[in-house]
Every structure is written in C-alpha cells, then in structure tokens.
Structure 1
C-alpha cells in the first residue's frame, strides 16, 4: 500500500455496510463547517435537501469508529477519482449513492445517461425552465402547447410561470383541449429542437395533453398563480374550469390516503413543514395524521402547533404544496396511490 492510499479496516467496512447512503452523507455533512455544508446544499435538489436535512437532524450516533469510517471512505473515493476525465461515470455514481442511496442513485444515473444522448424534444427535459421558455417563446402557441404537454408537469409548470398571464391562460386551455398530436406536428417540433441540438429523431403520433395534463401542471403552480389562472379559465370556459378542478389533487385529498400511505408520507416530511401545513387543515385530516403517529409524537406535534400561534395563510399554502410535491414523487415511484375517491387514482 502506498503512502497516499487510505486503509479502511474490515471493522470499518462492516460499519459502512450497515449504513444507508443518506446516513453516510448526513454524517459527512455534519463533519463540515456550516458554510461549507451550506455550499453543498445549494447544489442539491430541494427534495434531496429535505431528505438529507431530516437525516442530519435525527442523527445521534457519532462514535469515533463510525465517523472515521465515513471520512476514510470519502477520502478513498476522492483519491480514486482525482484525475478529471478518469473514472468520471463511477465517480458520479458513487457520489449519488452516497447522497441518495443505491436505488435512487441507480435510477438517476440511468436518466443522466439517457439525457446525455437526448435529441429533439427529449433534449428539453434536461434544460432549465427559463431556457426552455426562452427557446419556445417566439414559436406558434400550438408548438408551445405540445412542449408543455410532452414534458413532466412540474417542469411544465415552471416553464408556464415564465410567460405573462394572458399567455398562461391561452396555453393551459390549449393543453386541456389537446388530445392527440400527429406525426407532422411532432416532426416540426423535433426539427426546431434539432436546430439547437444535432441529430435526428423519428416520431409517431402520440396521445398527450388533455384535462388531466392541464390539472397536473396546475398542481405544480404557485398558489397565487394557480388561483388567478383558474379564475381566468372559469371566465373563459366554466365547464372546463370545473373539470380541471375536479382532476386536481389538493391537500385536502390526502384524507383519502390509507394509513400506510400517511405513514410513508410522515417519514418524508419534516416536522416544521407538517406543523405549518396542518395549521390550515380541517380536523378530520389533522386527526388522520395524528392517528398514524406514535402517541407521544402526536402530542408533541399538537403542542408545537399551539405554541407557534397564528401562521400566515401564504406560509400554510407553501407547506401544503411541499407535502403534495413529496406525495406526487412517492406516487411516481409507485410507493403510494393518490386518489380523489374510489377508483379514481391520480398517479
């Protein structure tokens, strides 16, 4: 072994094998100065910040052996991939595993690999919302509509937010009315994208858009924007607004989750977010959350809610949106089913 190599003992490797990726990342973050940890947090997705933050706040085992094992593993990984360009894929994967755990890291690595060769319309999935909005702002509204219907609702909501209010109204109503896109239209859009990204992309007709797609996009908009847009849709087409509203999944619909779903959600939501969100919930929904917590945890939460006093409606809405975003992510991962009633799943 050279002087620069890190020696990880068998005992330390056993300790590491018993820790999840998030536990290792949390312990490493807690070893840093606050400013350094903050710099890392700034480069993480909000949902990953939340998960890592929860793990950090609940960490209690700071034994020298465990801390030393995590530090040695980190240094070993850094030394293994010191040269830029050498072992990059393994480095990215190991870093993601350390932050997110094996399962989620593997899925993300696959997505990144797919995105590296993305062309045409698919290339937009890997762009910032502002970039996409800038790219399509001068295109025909029908092209803009196809883009919004094609991309994930969360990304489409961010893109929609970049347009002025009258354009938002026109586009969301077009999405709601869209049913199927013919090959010629998709090819036109891919040709536009290929002017920015080299390559060819064959297309077939595809079903996209519709009321459910519009409702999904609306779910991800800021509360104020969502409310103003829904009022505008109602003024233009009351029947459409009612249908979209019926398809939207709102915080009150969490009452339809089974106990297992509520418990899964509770493991992902921080206590302060839950406090603010439940401040604006009705008693039945509050009771459902309390019933799925330990007696002591429920009592502490209720006490904390009483002590915190009045909370601004805007803060309650932000907290509820955050929980809904977590619920949608869990639904996308197939871990729970969101529904607005029997037989009406929203996944």
Structure 2
C-alpha cells in the first residue's frame, strides 16, 4: 500500500513520480510524451498526492535510476536495440511495432490510438452514428476500462449489439482498418495497413464486462443470455471478479497489495467474504494486518457502489500486473514445462 512517510519503501509509480519531479518541467514533459494515457494519469495523480518525501528518499531514487540505466543501456550506447528488445519482450511483437515507430522514428500518435487520449463521452460521440461493426472494432481496440466507460454512454439495446459483435470478432482486415482511419481522418503508420490484425473476441468482451458498472453489467449479461446462452456462459467463465483473487498465489497478492492504496483496500474488503479478508490479512505483516482490521471496524457502513468501485480498482491493478508478467492470475499451480 502506498505510503510516502519516512522510512517506508516507495512504490514503483512513486519512484517514477519522484524522478520526473526531480528533472524539471521541460525534461519531464519530454518523457511523458512517450507514455500512454494510463501511465500519464497514474504518474500525474501520484505526483499530486506525494507528501513528506525525504531528501534521502529522493537521492536513493536518483541513485537507483543511474545504476539501472548504467547497467542496462550504457547511457545511450546501443539504446535503440535495448528499447526495441525491451518493448518486444514487454508487449509482444505486434503491439510493440507501432510504439517503436513512434519512439525511435519520430512518429506521432495517430489513428485509433488518438481515441485513447480522449474522454469516454467524446469517443462515444465520435462513433455514435457509425455502423455497429465499426463501433465494435473501436471498442475492441481500446483498453477494457475505457471501453466500458464508452459503452455506458449508449442505451441498453446498442450496448448489447456492440458486446455481441465484440465477442464475435477475430481478425480485422486492412480495408476495415483503413475505413476507421478515414473516419478519424488519420493514417496508420508502420505495417498495420498491410496485414490483418487480431482484435476482439469473447475474452475481450469478458474484459470489458469486468469494468462495466455492476447493475448495468447484470442487465447486459441477461440480455446476452437471452440471445445466446452458451456465449453468456463463456463470457461469465472468462470474467475475472474480486473473489477470483482467492486463486492468486501469496506472492501475487503481496505484489498487488504494494500497488493498492490503504483506503481502496479498506473499502474493497468491507464487501468481501471472510475467506477473502483472511487471504489479504495472511499476506501482510501481523502489525499491518491488525491495523487494517482496526480500520475496517472503524470505517462503519459504506455504500455498495463504493465497495464495487474499490474492488474494480484492485482488479485493474491485478490485470495490469498480470499483463506485465509480474503475477499470474489463477494461482501458481499451473504446470511448468
């Protein structure tokens, strides 16, 4: 849990915030240009919340950064190769391709990527009167939480149609991507215009459903079930809900807890069953667990909607860590080969 008091260990995002604040506005701005909207939002929010950062903590962040850069990049020697390999390992060949072009070849954010920087309501307005299949491709392309926010701006009938189309998507041909570029009056860079792109599918639909507000999610799931019961069951099986954290191994839970604010955890656990609470307590020090139990008792009644928001925030952290390869969702019992 994030805590910037003296003697406490800074989280990774706090270290990034401290480093950027140490660089000055101009240099920090140049670095932020190469980050995605989610990263910019997380770091910006952390900057605003930082307090009581001690001088020795700042010095340690800078020292650690210099050591890391010196060891891995030679301070610019062969940096292009390092960046290419790092991005391919982190994101995979397909996702890394356009990002490498933008960073190393001086490109800019274009096409569908532009939508990731826009407010959800604005994106909804952009695609509101487009063909439902175009809407589904756009929704599939965006991050699940943003996609869920965009869907909230449509009525129930349109939401159902889009989610069903997302679930049915597999690949998008170049002509369809070009049509989207025409709509946005942009052009894709790199090789995206010469090959089909894997996008959408039932897992994407399930990921989007995870971020939809609970009451809307229930209505939408019932509507999907009315159309195709097997599809609804498959989506339900693929959805990752708060109780699924019970299946994450202890090391994974500890990694998640380091990224979660105390208040968020308290709210999330107010609506959790005893097994889930015990799972969290058992992965904290005795002192931290006792303090959390006291905080839970002192919190008093909270709205169900607040609990759901907090739980979804923790699930978003878990998915991000899983996507980065830092944890495994579903526990550590998977066979090794």
Q: Distance in 1 between matches of 2:257 and 2:21?
A: 19
* CA 111–251 in structure 1, closer or farther in 2 if over 3 Å, else same: farther
Verify: 1:321 aligned to 2:282, yes or no. Answer: no
Kindly state the Cα deviation for residue 219 of structure 1 after the two structures are TM-superposed.
1.4
Task: Pick one of 132, 139, 146 that aligns with 1:148.
Answer: 139
Q: Distance in 1 between matches of 2:112 and 2:41?
A: 26
* CA 301–61 in structure 1, closer or farther in 2 if over 3 Å, else same: same
* CA 260–199 in structure 1, closer or farther in 2 if over 3 Å, else same: closer
Task: Pick one of 186, 189, 193 that aligns with 1:197.
Answer: 186
The 5 Å alignment of 1:258-337 reads 258-337=249-328
Q: Distance in 2 between matches of 1:151 and 1:21?
A: 25
Q: Distance in 2 between matches of 1:203 and 1:156?
A: 26
Q: TM-score, normalised by structure 2?
A: 0.68
Given that 2:174 and 2:193 are in contact with CA atoms closer than 8 Å, whether structure 1 keeps it comes out as no
Deviations 1:247-301 (A, max 9, x none): 0111111111111111111111111111111111122211111111110110111
1:22 counterpart residue number: 17
**Quick one: higher RCO (CA 8 Å, sep 6+), 1 or 2?**
2
Verify: 1:232 aligned to 2:223, yes or no. Answer: yes
* CA 126–340 in structure 1, closer or farther in 2 if over 3 Å, else same: same
Kindly state the Cα deviation for residue 151 of structure 1 after the two structures are TM-superposed.
2.3
Q: Distance in 2 between matches of 1:189 and 1:198?
A: 9
2:172 counterpart residue number: 181
Task: Pick one of 174, 198, 215 that aligns with 1:207.
Answer: 198
Segments of 4+ moved more than 4 angstroms = 23-28, 49-55, 109-116, 198-201, 340-344
Given that 1:175 and 1:209 are in contact with CA atoms closer than 8 Å, whether structure 2 keeps it comes out as yes
Kindly state the Cα deviation for residue 152 of structure 1 after the two structures are TM-superposed.
2.3
Task: Name structure 2 gaps, 5 residues minimum.
Answer: 1-13, 24-38, 60-95
Q: Distance in 1 between matches of 2:208 and 2:174?
A: 24
Task: Name structure 1 gaps, 5 residues minimum.
Answer: 1-18, 29-43, 70-106
Q: Distance in 1 between matches of 2:291 and 2:120?
A: 40
Deviations 1:27-67 (A, max 9, x none): 99xxxxxxxxxxxxxxx9664466457753xx47478xx89
Q: Distance in 1 between matches of 2:274 and 2:102?
A: 43
* CA 343–192 in structure 1, closer or farther in 2 if over 3 Å, else same: farther
Q: TM-score, normalised by structure 1?
A: 0.66
Task: Pick one of 225, 230, 234 that aligns with 1:243.
Answer: 234
Q: Distance in 1 between matches of 2:48 and 2:273?
A: 28
Verify: 1:172 aligned to 2:167, yes or no. Answer: no
Deviations 1:193-248 (A, max 9, x none): 3xx23677624222221110100111122223222222222222222111111101
Given that 1:186 and 1:203 are in contact with CA atoms closer than 8 Å, whether structure 2 keeps it comes out as no
